[in-house]
Structure 1
């Protein structure tokens, strides 16, 4: 019996938003010809995405399903 990880949604939502910002910065970096910065930003975005996915799956594995209330 595992307790729900109810503290995770705001954390993984923030990480997801941070990923979007990093991706925009990566586009700007490559447009400016800064290939090394672009590469580092893309690696950071991938790491953030993996962290998001891990937390998202952990949260949904430990929380109860929400029933659909419609028809």
Structure 2
């Protein structure tokens, strides 16, 4: 959920930190800071297309192996 609050007129407070006078800019700022949680950056691993395909193809076989 994005934290964008209208303070007065056309001024918006984003995440309790940033002031802006354009709602579109407020949305952009909110999405940029969405990955930061209490001053800690959330790191995530990017996978390639081929790794995703490999994992999707191997999944049924892994289930079958664990069942046997």
Structure whose CA Rg is larger? 2
Bigger RCO of structures 1 and 2 (CA < 8 A, at least 6 apart):
1
If the length of structure 1 is used for normalisation, what is the TM-score?
0.27
If the length of structure 2 is used for normalisation, what is the TM-score?
0.28
Q: Which has the higher helix share?
A: 1
